[in-house]
Amino acid sequence: MPASGPPRPPTLDEVAERARVSRTVASRVINNGPNVSQAKRDAVEKAIRELGYTPNRAARALATRQTGVIVLAVSGEGPEVFADPFFAQVIVGASAALERTDLHLVLSLATPGHGHRRLHNFLQTRGADGVMLVAMRGLEPLIDIAAQAGLPTVFLGLPMHRTAAYYVDVDNAGGSRAATEYLLRAGRRRIAMITGPVDTAVGRERTRGYTEALLLAGLEPFATAPGDFLEAGGAEAMRALLKARPDLDAVVAANDNMAAGALRVLRDAGRTVPGDVAVVGFDDAPIAVQTDPRLTTIHQPVQAVGREAARMLTELLAGGRPESFVLPTRVVVRESA
């Protein structure tokens, strides 16, 4: 008697039959597509577990010309990118959104020059099905690279000088306005700001929120100094503010890294926090609970940004038309203000 050989793997049709749904619905669930009720989704997932079904990625790629890969593209050098916890949290959120799909996340750190050309070639040869772009500085070459490839693209944060059909952002202006209003309610009136880079939308919006809060309170913007979102840059900006306006009584920093640098300079200058100078950051990053004193800051849901951007991209790949949106921020009160 001939050997029977290994058991045949279950098919998508068998999953659909067991779940009592159409093949199309079963495929949408497997690919995390839209327009599927929770009851049908649960039934398909149960059938997948019971049958031990594993999607055949090679067959699907031949049939649909899809690779099963999406790219998270970021401009910059590795050390520079990973010095900011924002990116790690984005990756965690995006990965979580893709756990129930057959899509793989590839991180591309595209350095100017060769790195940009390499990403261009990768996308042009359809090495990926879609792209998530972290909108950073003004005329970002990655935006053109993605557009030339013609791939579905979702922005994490609005680009500075471009329109974006699909994006997930946070309320940067509203968060900075809330930080400034919090300080005003505490009786502070000489409130300075360490801004983000002027060629970033996030830097511009957080400065706008600070300015609006003061104007609404009948005050002129007190003093600003540019920063670079790094701790050393925040320290340098704080030294400049103390030199220009030594009578300041509060500082809003456009992110927690710069707020940490400001705290160090204030301590070295003999200023107590929050007694002499109150400090508020932005992000609610891990460093906010490691400083002394711990930072009062603006919480932004960074993991949710990555998660929702990945979900939006999978919906685009499944033929849907998701809506872009802005996530809320909130004040987190600690000891620095």
151 and 294 housed in the same domain: no
Q: Do 46 and 144 have their domain in common?
A: no
Q: Are residues 197 and 285 in the same domain?
A: yes
In this structure, are 178 and 208 located in the same domain?
A: yes
User: How do strand 167-170 and strand 153-156 relate by DSSP bridges?
Assistant: parallel
Torsion angle of alpha carbons 272, 278, 283, 288, nearest 10°? 30
**Domain harbouring 42, CATH code:** 1.10.260.40
Q: Are residues 86 and 193 in the same domain?
A: no
Q: Looking at the structure, tell me whether residues 272 and 181 fall in a common domain.
A: yes
Task: Tell me which DSSP letter residue 61 carries.
Answer: H
Same domain, 109 and 255: no
DSSP annotation of 169: E
The predicted structure's pLDDT at residue 62:
41
Is residue 121 included in any domain, yes or no?
yes
113 and 83 fall within a common domain: yes
Same domain, 185 and 43: no
What pLDDT score was predicted for residue 63?
Answer: 46
The domain that contains 284 carries what CATH number?
3.40.50.2300
281 occurs within a structural domain: yes
2, part of any domain: no
- 205 found inside a domain: yes
Residues 179 and 285 occupy one common structural domain = yes
What is residue 31's predicted lDDT score, i.e. its pLDDT?
67
Name the domain count of the chain. 3
Residues 23 and 44 in one domain: yes
| pTM score | 0.76
Distance between CA atoms of 100 and 188, rounded to whole angstroms? 49
- Residue 102 in any domain: the answer is yes
Domain housing 92:
69-170+302-327
Is residue 244 a part of any domain in this protein? yes
> Any idea what the Cα angle at residue 88 is, between residues 180 and 257, rounded to 5°?
35
Q: What string of pLDDT tens digits covers the 337 residues of the chain?
A: 444 555 677 888 888 999 999 888 888 787 666 678 889 989 988 988 888 887 655 455 444 456 678 888 887 665 566 666 778 888 889 988 888 787 888 887 777 667 677 777 777 777 788 888 886 665 567 777 777 778 888 988 887 766 777 889 999 999 999 999 999 999 999 999 999 988 888 899 999 999 999 999 999 999 999 998 899 999 999 999 999 999 999 999 999 999 999 999 999 999 999 999 999 999 999 999 999 999 999 999 999 999 999 999 988 887 788 888 899 999 999 999 9
Question: For the packed helices 23-30 and 12-19, what is the interaxial angle rounded to 10 degrees?
Answer: 110
